[in-house]
């Protein structure tokens, strides 16, 4: 019975039932009793359906000896009645009765070699097991029934109860695959038996649990549409459907999800704008940093000498060129308490120290150098600070850095050395120490300077 003809079909069956009684046609009468029972099963009235089925089952069973004739098939309706009675008992939790009925069914099928009906009763065993909460047996029986079917039907009942069974044993993803087959059937036929309604409730729950609001909303909309259909075509049944999600709850959940999705879209666009702003901000910073690198690099290349413009040797040379015979007393008398001639001597020794590149010795120290120059650390430190404009450590390290820069600018083989090799050549104790002083003096990493030098070639 198609749902759109449900009421008319019921009216016709009742008319046939009445007429069959008037004319004494027992076969038609019991056949209509069977269909009335099917209506009551649709309505969820299993107690009433069972009473009707017991009547027609008794009749068809008593007449199994009658051969099938035109318009009469006692065997088929005996099996159908038996099947429906077992189904009703399952819903009524009459499991002990079903044990007897299932044995009767299997015995009859085997005796009469009616193997085409076998999977239907195996399926009934599976449904029975499901309601007994023996989910593993249910899965086994229902799966076996599906394998044995040899017809064109979809067998949604087995698929549905397999989905429910897997759901109850915690295999949610597998359960959802089966229940989505119910949805595919609905998509194809645009019809769905009311008993499968809870498939959508589980699908809504599942996609809510994994945060897939799009799928959750899809199934809410389908369930709402189905409920409107059930209310129209199954007026009596609709009131009896056990619903975890009623219309009000579905509408509330739908509105909540749609609001959430709208908020998510707003948040998404805000995030895109923020990320774009961050991208532009850091892009601009990177651009500015590259420009600064370029300026620093060009400044290093513009150096004309590895010597500091304020160092004493250059000033000394300039003085000697201008007036080679005159001693510049004022220049060498900058440190109170130190003889200018003594200061001149130390500065000349420093000039030779630089020319001979003795600063490349990693063991050189203020103490050792002051002893070599015939003075003490205190006087030597004062001379370095006054005439070099920095302390001894910076003085030595700057000489080393100028040495490396000069070679990097003028000898391509140095550009192919790594930082550790360059540090060792210049007399630094480590690559880290070299890099730190390079950044201090030039505000640029040595690796960046080398990269830019290579690009310039």
The pLDDT tens digits of the residues spanning 417-443 come to 999 999 999 999 999 999 999 999 988
From the list 347, 353, 349, 359, the residue with the least C-alpha distance to 315 is: 347
Whole-angstrom distance, CA of residue 432 vs CA of residue 423: 9
Query: Are 111 and 103 contacting, i.e. CB atoms less than 8 angstroms apart?
Result: no
CA distances to 180, 213, 251, 265, 272 from 259, rounded to whole Å, are 26, 11, 12, 10, 20
In 203-278 the beta strands, taken as DSSP E runs, fall at none
pLDDT at 150: 87
Work out the mean pLDDT of the chain and round it to a whole number: 85
pLDDT at 235: 56
Residue/partner pairs of 154-158 with CB below 8 Å, 24 or more apart: 154/185, 155/123, 156/181, 156/182, 156/185, 156/193, 156/196, 157/123, 157/127, 157/195, 158/123, 158/126
Q: Which of 212-221, 260-269, 325-334 has the highest mean pLDDT?
A: 212-221
CA dihedral (238, 239, 244, 249) in degrees, to 10, reads: 90
Which letter does DSSP use for residue 429 in this model? S
pLDDT at 328: 83
Q: Phi and psi (nearest 5°) for 69?
A: -130, 175
Rounded to a whole number of angstroms, the CA Rg of the chain reads 49
Count, residues in the chain: 457
From the list 334, 335, 316, the residue with the least C-alpha distance to 326 is: 316
- pLDDT over 50 (residue 309): no
Which letter does DSSP use for residue 296 in this model? H
pLDDT at 42: 76
pLDDT at 234: 62
Whole-angstrom distance, CA of residue 183 vs CA of residue 200: 8
Query: Could you read off the pLDDT of 235-275 as tens digits, one per residue?
Result: 554 454 445 555 666 677 777 787 777 777 788 888 888 88
pLDDT at 247: 64
Q: Phi and psi (nearest 5°) for 72?
A: -135, 125
Whole-angstrom distance, CA of residue 236 vs CA of residue 201: 21
| 431-442 helix and 392-410 helix, angle to the nearest 10 degrees | 90
Query: Could you read off the pLDDT of 152-175 as tens digits, one per residue?
Result: 888 999 999 999 999 999 999 999
pLDDT at 324: 53
206-221 mean pLDDT: 91
Question: 3-state DSSP call for residue 89?
Answer: helix
In sequence order, what are the beta bridge partners of 69? Answer: 72
Non-local (6+) Cβ contacts of 79 within 8 A are 105, 108, 109, 114, 117
Query: Could you read off the pLDDT of 392-423 as tens digits, one per residue?
Result: 999 999 999 999 999 998 888 999 999 999 99
Whole-angstrom distance, CA of residue 37 vs CA of residue 83: 12
94-101 mean pLDDT: 93
Q: Left (φ > 0), alpha (ψ -120 to 50) or beta: where does 188 sit?
A: alpha
Query: Are 387 and 395 contacting, i.e. CB atoms less than 8 angstroms apart?
Result: no
pLDDT at 316: 47
Q: Left (φ > 0), alpha (ψ -120 to 50) or beta: where does 71 sit?
A: left
- pLDDT over 90 (residue 382): yes
């Amino acid at each position: 019975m198609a749902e759109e003809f449900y009421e008319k079909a019921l009216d016709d069956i009742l008319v046939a039932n009445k007429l069959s009684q008037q004319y004494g046609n027992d076969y038609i009468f019991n056949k209509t009793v069977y269909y009335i029972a099917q209506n009551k099963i649709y309505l969820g009235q299993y107690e009433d359906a069972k009473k009707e089925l017991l009547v027609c089952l008794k009749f068809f069973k008593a007449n199994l000896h009658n051969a099938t004739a035109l318009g009469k098939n006692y065997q088929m309706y005996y099996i159908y009645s038996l099947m429906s009675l077992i189904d009703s008992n399952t819903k009524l939790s009459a499991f002990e009765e079903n044990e007897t009925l299932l044995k009767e069914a299997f015995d009859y099928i085997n005796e009469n070699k009616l193997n085409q009906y076998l999977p239907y009763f195996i399926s009934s065993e599976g449904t029975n097991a499901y309601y007994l909460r023996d989910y593993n047996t249910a899965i086994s029986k229902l799966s076996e029934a599906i394998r044995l079917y040899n017809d064109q039907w979809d067998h949604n009942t087995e698929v549905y109860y397999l989905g429910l069974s897997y759901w109850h044993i915690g295999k949610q993803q597998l359960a959802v695959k089966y229940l989505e087959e119910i949805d595919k059937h609905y998509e194809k036929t645009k019809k769905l038996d009311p008993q499968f309604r809870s498939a959508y409730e589980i699908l809504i729950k599942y996609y809510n649990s994994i945060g897939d609001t799009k799928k959750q909303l899809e199934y809410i909309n389908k369930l709402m549409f189905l409920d409107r259909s059930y209310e129209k075509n199954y007026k009596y049944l609709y009131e009896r459907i056990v619903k975890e999600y009623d219309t009000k709850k579905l509408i509330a959940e739908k509105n909540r999800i749609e609001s959430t999705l709208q908020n998510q879209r707003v948040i998404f666009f805000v995030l895109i704008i923020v990320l774009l702003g961050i991208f532009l901000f850091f892009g601009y910073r990177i651009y500015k940093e590259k420009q600064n690198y370029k300026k620093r690099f060009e400044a290093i290349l513009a150096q004309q000498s590895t010597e500091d413009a304020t160092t004493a040797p250059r000033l000394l040379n300039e003085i000697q060129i201008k007036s080679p015979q005159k001693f510049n007393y004022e220049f060498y008398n900058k440190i109170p308490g130190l003889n200018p001639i003594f200061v001149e001597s130390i500065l000349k020794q420093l000039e030779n120290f630089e020319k001979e590149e003795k600063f490349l010795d990693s063991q050189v120290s203020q103490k050792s150098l002051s002893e070599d120059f015939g003075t003490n650390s205190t006087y030597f430190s004062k001379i370095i600070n006054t005439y070099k404009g920095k302390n001894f450590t910076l003085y030595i390290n700057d000489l080393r850095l100028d040495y490396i820069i000069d070679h990097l600018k003028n000898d391509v083989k140095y550009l192919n050395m790594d930082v550790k090799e360059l540090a060792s050549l210049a007399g630094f104790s480590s690559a880290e120490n070299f890099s730190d002083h390079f950044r201090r003096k030039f505000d640029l990493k040595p690796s960046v300077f080398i990269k830019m030098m290579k690009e310039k070639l």
